[in-house]
A and B are shown apart, each in its own frame.
Chain A
Amino acid sequence: MANLRIPINSNFTSRFVSFLNRSFSTNKALNAQPMTVRDALNSAIDEEMEKDERVFILGEEVAQYDGAYKVSRGLWKKYGDKRVIDTPITEMGFAGIAVGAAMAGLKPVCEFMTFNFSMQAIDHVINSAAKTFYMSAGRVNVPIVFRGPNGAASGVGAQHSQCYGAWYAHCPGLKVISPYTSEDCKGLLKAAIRDPDPVVFLENELLYGVQFPMSDEALSKDFIIPIGKAKIEKPGKHITLVAHSRAVDTCLIAAKELAGQGIEAEVINLRSLRPLDMDAINASVMKTNHLISVEQGWPTCGIGSEVLARIMESEVFFHLDQPAIRITGVDTPMPYAKTLEEAALPRASDVVTAVKKILKA
């Protein structure tokens, strides 16, 4: 389905210049060269296609047009029609074909122009891709990656602005990744392509044009980030902020502001939503004794709900000095109006306010 199909290829780099300054402050990144999220994704697919001839990409306009968001730029020229396949506008068709190809031994990277359109194909993603290994008693695995932009973009209205993190993370059999930086994207997409199970890889449209530093290690063709491991983006001792995708940025901005007021927030970039790295969260909460989850998705049955519930069920609960809370997208279809759209998503100021309230600072 898919829709009005509204690729917005604006370069958002300027809005996110703060990333660079912030990230350059770490030692490892001193020698790092910047790379956009788009290029990191592109190099991940390119390297894996080069490495393994079973890997191929299919989706709407991924070939000659280089993909609606240019993530597959240059791949068609390099690998040709056989491995970079433009499809008719039928998500349930190409998702089904990709699942079939994976069952038959290939390693498809199936691009949804946006994850909003994956709704047309969700039966293949869940009932076929996620369950076939189990239903076939372990005989047939489905090594497939479903990828594309997820979550709110900008000014594209309710039907094109929603986070599917919680939807897919709900389902056993799937692995779900929601990366933030260029390194996340490269290392995790490569891991996803090599993974023997179906992986849902949720990118963010507004991050595509953003540059992040890439370490020498990350530039290597062997660079892999393990699925299911979170990353501490910024260490801190007073409160733990758990987030994924663009909400990590919100937390980092908030943490910077809080640092100026003497509050050291620890920011955890979840990277994977399923499996969820509770070890990392638990360790952090045991250190900070305070927890807030931040996400752009809706509150009910969200990723934050899951994190908080698991804390509640564990020993770590007794380490909390205050109730843990969720900061989420507003419980409403996404407004089209620019100002309301901004207000419908968590902002750094929301995080700052919540942190101060929790810490009674």
Chain B
Amino acid sequence: MFLRQSSLVLRKYLKNTHKLKLFSTSTSTIDYPGAQVIWSGNLSFTNSHSYPPISTYRVLNSKGQITNNSEDPKLSNDVLEKMYKDMVLLNVMDKILYESQRQGRISFYMTNFGEEAAQIGSAAALSIEDLVYGQYREAGVLLWRGFTIADFVNQCYGNVEDKGKGRQMPVHYGSKKLNFVTISSPLTTQMPQAAGAAYALKGKNKVVICYFGEGAASEGDAHAAFNFATTLDCPVIFFCRNNGYAISTPADEQYRGDGIAARGPGYGLNTLRVDGNDVFAVYNATLKAKEFALARNKPVLIEALTYRVSHHSTSDDSSAYRPADEVTHWATHLNPVNRLRLYLEHNSLWNEDKQKEWMKECRKNVLTVFEEGEKKVKPHWNEMFTDVYKDIPDHLKKQMEEMAQHVEQYKDKYPVKNFS
């Protein structure tokens, strides 16, 4: 049984929303500074059985039908079509880049299969001015914002067009223009940083969205981020992609209790749990979170329940720890892309011909860009001297000049044509 709202609670709540008083004038109660007091004569545990699981918000059922019309986000046909097309394009790009890693053409890759709705739905609810801190499986968010296939491919190849100058592993995308902070390899560092960024952006009519997985939520940084975001009133949306696996570790070995959402109220976070494979539910939740965060200068936690159909990365073979049937089930019956397609088809916005045409276009686009990206030269060699310090130290300047002379003198001996 959940806590009953007695009049006492309500009275104290009202009082506490104004100002916490350390000394009560009432004889029947003491205002301890650490929590609100409800007296009880029964000694009993509060645990996960004390209240039902947090409900999961859903708009589209697995057949692609809106179950409650009042929850229809009423998106324009253009937005609906972009949502679906971006999901399909993401799939096609993932398939081709994954294969290219298998062929040894790039060193590493991470696909997004199964989590398309969580990415696209949340991205669509925000504006480009809102700042994104990703974990590493958010290519769909970038795609939505306008990161081109060429941008993705160039980063994976680390060629001259890569904004990161070839310094990062593949999939460590970033875009200052699109307000997407470059992915950092260490896990969960994005969470306290997102809270900090939101603190800095207070009053600027922007929110920060921070993506993380249920595994990342186990890191101490997650705790710090939640606690600081609430105590410092930061307008940040913590968006958990709870996809069931942290590499090989299943969620039931990662934590106990009612998922990541259940932690929210404990931190004083306004919390939503949504069906992460339902693009409309994710959209509505993110929009509501943004409105709330902006209006109140407060953080929101969203837990999107989804399933990682992908292997963790190209370094992982998930068949070692989960049954193939399980993956197939999620990839077919509970596929978020198919769900949106069904909806679009019910509403005559999509059909088999359009599907074929779009698939063809996607493949052609990705393959063309991919071939171009592979042929592009590498960044200029002098980039290896830059960016360790804002001002290049003298000893590095000297080395750079020596190298310039050396390369000039022996340019017939070096593959200078491979560098910009």
Contacts and interface: CB of A to CB of B under 8 A. Distances in A.
Interface size bucket, A side? 35 or more
A172 interface: no
Interface stretch (A57-65, A163-171, A234-242, A348-356): A57-65
A112 B216 CA distance: 16
Contact of A337 (B158, B184, B220, B315): B158
B315 to A, nearest CB: 5
Contact of B388 (A64, A89, A332): A332
Contact of A93 (B172, B220, B253, B313): B220
Contacts of A9: 315
A4 to B, nearest CB: 5
A5 B167 contact: no
Interface string A5-42: 11111000000000000000000000000000000000
Given A157-B167, A160-B185, A335-B167, A65 B219 contact: no
Interface of B: 107-108, 110, 136, 158, 166-169, 172, 184-189, 215-216, 218-221, 246-249, 253-255, 312-313, 315-316, 320-321, 378, 384, 388
Instruction: Find the residue from B110, B136, B384 having the highest chain A CB count within 10 A.
Output: B384
A4 B248 contact: no
Contacts of B218: 88-90, 93
A333 interface: yes
Contacts of A159: 184-186
Contacts, number: 107
A1 B167 contact: no
B245 to A, nearest CB: 11
Given A1-B187, A88-B218, A120-B220, A158 B167 contact: yes
A340 B136 CA distance: 24
A337 B378 CA distance: 10
A6 B313 contact: yes
Interface in A107-150: 116-117, 119-120
A197 interface: no
A46 interface: no
B226 to A, nearest CB: 15
Nearest to A340: B384
Contacts of B172: 157
Interface SS of B by simple majority? loop
Given A88-B218, A157-B169, A2 B315 contact: no
A3 interface: yes
Given A90-B220, A160-B185, 13 more contacts: A1-B219, A2-B187, A5-B313, A6-B169, A64-B248, A65-B320, A89-B249, A90-B218, A90-B219, A157-B167, A158-B168, A160-B169, A333-B388
Interface string A331-346: 0110111101000000
A278 interface: no
Interface in A61-115: 61, 64-65, 68, 86, 88-93
Interface of A: 1-9, 60-61, 64-65, 68, 86, 88-93, 116-117, 119-120, 155-160, 332-333, 335-338, 340
A100 to B, nearest CB: 16
A7 B315 contact: yes
B168 A336 contact: yes
B215 A89 contact: yes
